[in-house]
Chains A and B, each alone.
Chain A
Amino acid sequence: MKPRRWLRPALLLLLLATGVLLGACHRGEPLPLRLTNISGHMPDLDFKLTDDSGKAVTGADYRGKVVLLYFGYTHCPDVCPLTLAQLHVVMQRLGPLADGARILFVSVDPARDTPAIMHGYVNAFDKRAVGLVGDARSVEALSKRYRSAFTREPSAADGSYEVSHSSAIYVFDRGGRARLLATPSASQDDLVHDLHLLLDTGATS
């Protein structure tokens, strides 16, 4: 009988604490994220590139949106489309909340990927996806910033080549702060869960 008496207030306290935790992101409390939390370990979103409509853009242009950053290239018929298709499914599952998020697909193949090619490519996956291109130096600067690697494999006889590239997806909150690292094999449930937290509670500026 004795333990019961303190059980109910304790549970209530626990519930309250959980509620506070969930609503406390703006006060710097850690969110209960499921994926690899990189908060404080990676620099804020920053780049100077060209979007798929041909407009010069910087990281600051995406403040206010939760950003999913992924490096790839359009002559990649298997893994890049799979990752973008998976991100599309995640966006669908977020419903109207997904409008607060953007998928930024950065080409690591500046020689072949033009804004026009990127435009057709990203829009085949999700209307909230943006293709970004830049000269080799700008793309390398961005990829180095997030310790993401890519290399051009030796050319084949016909001049075609493959690019090996980091498979990670970097997630930034609405303030442009790096928050999560997801691999393509990460569960969609976890990604949806974490994006919900960032979209629900993240400050809009």
Chain B
Amino acid sequence: MKSSRMKSAALPLLLAGLLLAGGAHANDAAHIRASHAWIRVLPGALPAGAYVTLENDGNQPVALRGASSSVYAEVMLHRSSREGGVSRMAMVDALNVPAHGKAELAPAGYHLMLMRPHAPVKPGDTVTLTLQFGDGSTLATDFVARPANAMDAGDDHATPAMDHDAMPHGH
């Protein structure tokens, strides 16, 4: 009882504090930096894998829970694994980004599975995915679409987010 009352009293204060600190972007993940964000584009409407490196410069661990996008009908956090020579893929609830550490979504491991694009995504396009974290914060991140046979984010992977010039218009 006591703790829940405290929580309900503390929440508006917390929100107010966040609003003051973050201005319009009240729920931006303040301590997470995303880089090497890319999508492996497959032909047609086949599901695609998205990869990104997340760095947490905060004092608290943050859990990536998933992502949303206006371009894909569904985004799921997945993990591929290999055991006894067998590959399988499973949905996971969260990927922990340790305090002052990093977590990588990379081929053959954790990835975001992007399903049912509303419009074709072509190599060279930029797609914004909004990463969602366990503390309710989000981070809009630009992913560069790469050809099916790409091995990584390519040369310009260091390009910071928020460049929406090439974003496909799937609404």
Residues of chain A having any CB pair with chain B under 8 Å: 74-79, 81-82, 84-86, 88-89, 117, 120-121, 124-126, 149, 153, 160, 162, 164-168, 183-184
Contacts and interface: CB of A to CB of B under 8 A. Distances in A.
Contact of A77 (B40, B87, B88, B90): B40
Contacts of A166: 85-87
Contacts of A117: 43-44, 46
Interface of B: 40, 42-44, 46-49, 78, 80, 82, 85-90, 107-108, 111, 113-115, 147-151
B80 to A, nearest CB: 5
A78 B43 CA distance: 14
A89 B148 contact: no
Given A78-B89, A85-B148, A166-B85, 11 more contacts: A78-B49, A78-B78, A79-B108, A85-B40, A85-B150, A121-B43, A121-B46, A124-B42, A124-B43, A162-B89, A184-B87
Nearest to B113: A77
A44 to B, nearest CB: 21
B46 A125 contact: no
Contacts of A120: 43-44
Which of A79, A162, A164 has the most chain B CB within a 10 Å cutoff? A79
A74 B111 contact: no
